[in-house]
Amino acid sequence: MTISSKQKDILQQFLISFIAVLLSLIVGAVIILAMGYNPISAYGALIKGSMGSLVSLTMTLKTSVPLILAGLAVAVAFKSSAFNIGVEGQLMFGGLCAGLVGIYVPLPGPLHLAATILAGMLGGALIAFFPAILNSSCNVSVVISTIMLNYVVQFFVQYCVMGPFHGATSAPATDPLLASATLPNILPSPYQLNLGFILMILAVVLIYIYMNKTTKGYEMTAVGLNRTASEFSGINVKKNMFMALLISGAIAGLAGGIEISGSLKRMVNGFSSGYGFSGIPIALMARNNPFAIILTGFFFGMMRSGSFLMQATVGVSSDMVGIIQGLVVVFICLENLIRYYMNRRK
Amino acid sequence: MAEYAIELKGITKRFPGVVANNNITFSVRKGEIHALAGENGAGKSTLMNILFGLLVPDEGQIIINGKEEKFSSPRDSNRAGIGMVHQHFMLIPKLSVMENVIIGQEPGTSLKIDRKKAVEEVQAISDKYELNIDVTKKVGELSVPEQQRVEIIKVLYRQADILIFDEPTAVLPPHLIDEFCDILLSLKEKGKTIIFISHKLAEVMKVSDHVTVIRRGEVIGTRAICDTSIDEITRMMVGHSVDTGRKSRADIKPGKEVLSIKDLHYTNVEGNEKLKGLDLSVHEGEIVGIAGVDGNGQEEMEKCILGLFKPDSGQILFNGEDMIGHTVKERRDMGLGYVAEDRQKESLVLQYSVAYNLILGQHYLPAYSKHGFWLKKDAINENAEKLAKDYDIRLANIQVAAGTLSGGNQQKIVIAREANNDPKLYVAIQPTRGLDIGASDSVQDTLIRLRNENKAVLLISMELDEILAVSDKIAVIFDGKIVAVVDAATADKESLGYLMLGSKKGGNE
């Protein structure tokens, strides 16, 4: 059987992403070496810390959930050519909304949990709504407005958590969520994996179906690929970008909600630590393919959860993974160069 | 010394599902202008890309000046003295002509470019070949024909003796084509060998010494220009003779009025009034051709009809209902088929498959989706298979990206899609621009067929010959108004020409 040109394309894109990761690990190794550490033991610790045991593997999976969802949020908006750089803010606000409903809106049984998660999604969508409406009514650049809104949200969330909703302890956090609003674990202790993981898989599958099997996804993708032709054929470009941003915000909010309701069990100020921003390279590496985002998101999750062991045992600062992630972005952006050399060898 | 500058022997190049070049053999004498003619998608570009080193042939030999060569990149072909002037210019607008020309081969040391020497050298080339370019100017300030000459200088600077021109006249306005032909002749006079790719046969006849015709990837034959005629070359290109005169059509009476534009005014954002009370009427079973010089309000009228522009005042009645205020989608649902001017930019999503492109704008209809939500992949593919067959869209399969097809086949996608949704009014803007004879013919036949099926057809074209060949009625647009409507069967080119230029003379003489 011969492979079709489409499959060949996908294969090549996969290879390019793989080469980019490999190159960034190599350059990262050189930097680690220059700092006077052994890169092999550093990477070894990174892998051992993230996948060395079942406990650490489930820990890594848990860490990957918000990362994968953030990547998915970026990808959905990107598909319709809206660059949502505001996933970080949408995610934080989603977390806040989920937290508040989880604490202050007692509802019976599973309804409370559903309301909590839904509040997270609505919160994220609300924050995405402002740039979306500004874009469709006044043509304001989505990139600019989403970036700037991140700071507004960051300080607003900080005010809420430190001010009116500050908890009984001195920690920068609210009171714990009611037990009925937390996501139950799906694995027995000590393995930490909660229902959020299932929700994440569900979101990925749903988005894949939406983008590939429905007329709405068809329109959004068409708008992203060729705005003018979409307009000429009667597709409402503004409406599609608006919807894509709203969906993107809802996914970001879901990530925040899962993190608060599943992992932290209370709203903590600054809980995100850059999940939303990591979503950009995660989506980039996966070329906006929802299933590939699971892989690339997991890769970023590995770096995060393994970096602690690396710092503890080898002494390489856990910030090193930030450098490697940055290098990944650089090498992904060198896509054309990699492609050039790949095609030359043929 | 070898007699031939280029000898190609048995060149074969296969792409998945297509043989782009099949056993191509022909030779180009030193110092001649050799035309390569063929329809879009016939394999001319593939062949030239092989000669230029961008593609490697699966089989065959390339012999340059008697010596066999293997090219794996343009650098290799450069070394053998081959240069190519591409259809789409590869210039950097912000740099000067000189800087554009010397890129990659800068005189001076590796640290410092010897600008004085560079200017002198490049200017010398422009002067020697009478190209009339001030090489210190920025490329962005130059007109399109001048930019083309910069491309020629670029090739000459690299000491090419064999120059390949890929559809060079496609970008030129008609009155500058003669000038371009003179440049080709002057290059030939100075000893250069030229390969000239074109499907405009008038130019081919005018400048070439020999012409080689390619059809469906195979050489049909090579003729000396003095021994051949446009008719013969056309027959060789398309495989059958083409009627270049007025299209025959069914004898039907126009039915009721479908489109009625009344006193339409439109002012653009710059404040220029582009439509100044335009009136137009199109009936069932007739083709109305809009003749006019570019920029007299055609674009504004088209976009007012489609719904992208909102007129200041006036009416656009569609079967009696005013379309103004309706969205593009609503107008299309009312029965508007619209073939936009720029197929790549305005009509197709090049990365989408052919099947997907064939439903763009109709994807939500029950035929292709369940409840307007779930795409029916099977129905979409069936539709594509059928249209590809009916409209002779040549492709490996319907899942390939539309961008991989040749221009003619891309246009057939648009023509087919817009005709497929049972339109009441079919608007076609420059539908054959850039197409070869065979594809143009099939597009025009579709317009006639729609008319015979009692649809109303509005054709807007800058090519008067096309308007005359296809239309039933011709409306002349000038300065934002329709200034005359004449019967196409009795219209003559000359008086139309006067009307298009705003002179009243045409009617009286």
pLDDT bracket for residue A14 (50, 70, 90): confident
Q: Which residues pair with B353 in a beta bridge?
A: B401
Strand, helix or coil for residue A171: coil
Token digits of residue B378: 């099977």
Say which amino acid occupies B91: L
Strand, helix or coil for residue B268: coil
Please tell me whether residues B223 and B304 are part of one structural domain. Answer: no
Q: Which residues pair with B486 in a beta bridge?
A: B474
Reported residue count of chain B is 509
Residue A328 domain-assigned? no
Residue B490 domain-assigned? yes
Please tell me whether residues B109 and B18 are part of one structural domain. Answer: yes
> In this structure, are residues A203 and A257 in contact, taking their beta carbons and an 8 Å threshold?
no
Q: What is the pLDDT of residue B241?
A: 53
- Which chain A residue is nearest to residue B397, measuring alpha carbons? A4
Residue A301 domain-assigned? no
CA distance B312 to chain A (A): 21
Residue B440 CA to residue B504 CA, distance in Å, equals 32
How many structural domains does chain B have?
A: 2
Q: Is the peptide bond before B93 cis (omega within 30 degrees of 0)?
A: no
End of a domain among B238, B268, B295? B238
Residue A209 domain-assigned? yes
Interchain CB distance below 8 Å, B345 and A229: yes
Residue B382 domain-assigned? no
Name every chain A residue with its beta carbon within 8 A of the beta carbon of B368: 215
Please tell me whether residues B218 and B118 are part of one structural domain. Answer: yes
Residue A236 CA to residue B244 CA, distance in Å, equals 41
Please tell me whether residues B227 and B278 are part of one structural domain. Answer: no
Residue A182 domain-assigned? yes
Please tell me whether residues B266 and B296 are part of one structural domain. Answer: yes
Interchain CB distance below 8 Å, A4 and B329: no
Non-local (6+) Cβ contacts of A182 within 8 A are A102, A113, A261, A262, A265
Residue B354 CA, chain-centre distance (Å), reads 20
Name every chain A residue with its beta carbon within 8 A of the beta carbon of B306: 232
Judge residue A181's burial from the number of C-beta atoms within 10 Å of its C-beta, 0-12 exposed, 13-18 middle, 19 or more buried. buried
Residue A163 domain-assigned? yes
Task: Give the model confidence (pLDDT) of A41-99 as tens digits.
Answer: 999 999 999 999 999 999 999 999 999 999 999 999 999 999 999 999 999 999 999 99
Prediction ipTM score: 0.88
Q: What is the pLDDT of residue B105?
A: 82
Please tell me whether residues B196 and B59 are part of one structural domain. Answer: yes
pLDDT tens, chain B, 509 aa long: 568 999 999 999 987 666 789 999 999 999 999 999 887 667 888 898 899 998 999 999 999 998 898 898 888 898 899 999 887 788 998 999 999 999 888 888 878 888 899 999 999 999 888 888 899 999 988 888 888 899 999 999 988 999 999 888 877 766 778 888 888 999 999 899 999 988 778 888 889 999 999 988 889 999 999 998 888 887 787 776 555 578 888 888 899 999 999 999 999 887 888 999 999 999 999 999 999 877 789 999 999 999 999 999 999 999 999 999 999 999 999 999 999 998 999 999 999 999 999 999 999 999 999 999 999 999 999 999 999 999 999 888 999 999 988 888 999 999 999 999 999 999 999 998 878 778 888 999 999 999 999 999 999 988 788 899 999 999 999 889 999 999 998 888 778 877 887 765 444 43
CA-wise closest residue to B157 among B117, B111, B110: B117
Say which amino acid occupies A94: G
Please tell me whether residues B218 and B268 are part of one structural domain. Answer: no
3-state SS, one letter per residue, for B175-228: HHHHHHHHHHHHHHHCCCEEEEEECCHHHHHHHCCEEEEEECCEEEEEEEHHHC
Strand, helix or coil for residue B48: helix
Token digits of residue A237: 């470009």
Q: Which of B308, B356, B364 sits opposite A231 (nearest CB)?
A: B308
CA distance B345 to chain A (A): 6
Q: Which of A213, A218, A229 sits opposite B347 (nearest CB)?
A: A229
Residue A196 CA to residue A257 CA, distance in Å, equals 9
CA distance A197 to chain B (A): 27
How many structural domains does chain A have?
A: 1
Interchain CB distance below 8 Å, B352 and A225: yes
Residue A227 has pLDDT above 70, yes or no: yes
**What is the pLDDT of chain A when averaged over all its residues?**
92
Q: List residues of chain A with CB under 8 Å from any CB of chain B.
A: 2, 4-6, 213-216, 218-219, 221-222, 225-226, 228-236
Q: What is the pLDDT of residue B505?
A: 47
For chain A, say whether B338 makes contact (Cβ under 8 Å).
yes
> In this structure, are residues A335 and A16 in contact, taking their beta carbons and an 8 Å threshold?
yes
Q: Which of B349, B368, B399 sits opposite A226 (nearest CB)?
A: B349
Residue A149 CA to residue B205 CA, distance in Å, equals 65
Secondary structure letter of residue A298 according to DSSP: H
Tracing tokens 């013919």 back to the chain, one arrives at B441
Which range of residues forms the domain containing residue A118? 65-293
End of a domain among B195, B210, B238? B238
Residue B492 domain-assigned? yes
The reply to whether the predicted model has a pTM over 0.80 is: no
Please tell me whether residues B177 and B110 are part of one structural domain. Answer: yes
Interchain CB distance below 8 Å, B332 and A235: no
Residue B148 domain-assigned? yes
Q: Is the dihedral of CA B466, B469, B470, B473 positive or negative?
A: positive
Which range of residues forms the domain containing residue B22? 4-238
CB pairs under 8 A between A and B: 72
End-to-end CA distance of chain B: 61
Interchain CB distance below 8 Å, A213 and B329: no
Strand, helix or coil for residue B14: strand
**B interface test, pick of A3, A232, A340 with most B CB neighbours within 10 Å:** A232
Residue B409 CA to residue B191 CA, distance in Å, equals 38
Q: What is the pLDDT of residue A2?
A: 46
Please tell me whether residues B157 and B283 are part of one structural domain. Answer: no
Token digits of residue A46: 């990174």
Residue B462 CA to residue B472 CA, distance in Å, equals 17
What's the count of helices (H) and strands (E) in chain A, helices before strands?
14, 2
For chain A, say whether B306 makes contact (Cβ under 8 Å).
yes
Residue A53 domain-assigned? no
Residue B358 domain-assigned? no
Say which amino acid occupies A91: L
Residue B508 CA, chain-centre distance (Å), reads 36
Please tell me whether residues B52 and B96 are part of one structural domain. Answer: yes
Tracing tokens 């045409």 back to the chain, one arrives at B506
Phi, psi values for residue A57, rounded to 5°: -65, -45
Token digits of residue B431: 């539908």
CA-wise closest residue to B232 among B211, B247, B248: B211
Q: What is the pLDDT of residue A48?
A: 93
Q: What is the pLDDT of residue A198?
A: 96
End of a domain among B238, B273, B302? B238
Q: What is the pLDDT of residue A126?
A: 97
Residue A131 CA to residue A122 CA, distance in Å, equals 15
Spatial strand order of the sheet with B286-291 comes to B336-339, B425-429, B456-460, B286-291, B473-478, B481-487
- Which chain A residue is nearest to residue B349, measuring alpha carbons? A226
Kindly calculate the radius of gyration of chain B based on its CA atoms and give it in whole angstroms: 25
Report the CATH number that the domain containing residue B285 is assigned in CATH.
3.40.50.300
Task: Give the model confidence (pLDDT) of A207-219 as tens digits.
Answer: 999 999 999 999 9
Q: What is the pLDDT averaged over residues A102-120?
A: 94
Residue A15 domain-assigned? no
Interchain CB distance below 8 Å, B369 and A234: no
Residue B369 domain-assigned? no
Interchain CB distance below 8 Å, B373 and A214: yes
Q: Which of B346, B361, B375 sits opposite A213 (nearest CB)?
A: B375
Token digits of residue B459: 């054709």
Residue A289 domain-assigned? yes
Residue A183 CA to residue A185 CA, distance in Å, equals 7
Residue B349 CA to residue B352 CA, distance in Å, equals 5
> In this structure, are residues A181 and A117 in contact, taking their beta carbons and an 8 Å threshold?
no
Please tell me whether residues B479 and B433 are part of one structural domain. Answer: yes
Please tell me whether residues B183 and B147 are part of one structural domain. Answer: yes
- Which chain A residue is nearest to residue B375, measuring alpha carbons? A214
Helical H segments across B343-492, by residue range: 354-357, 377-390, 407-420, 437-452, 464-470
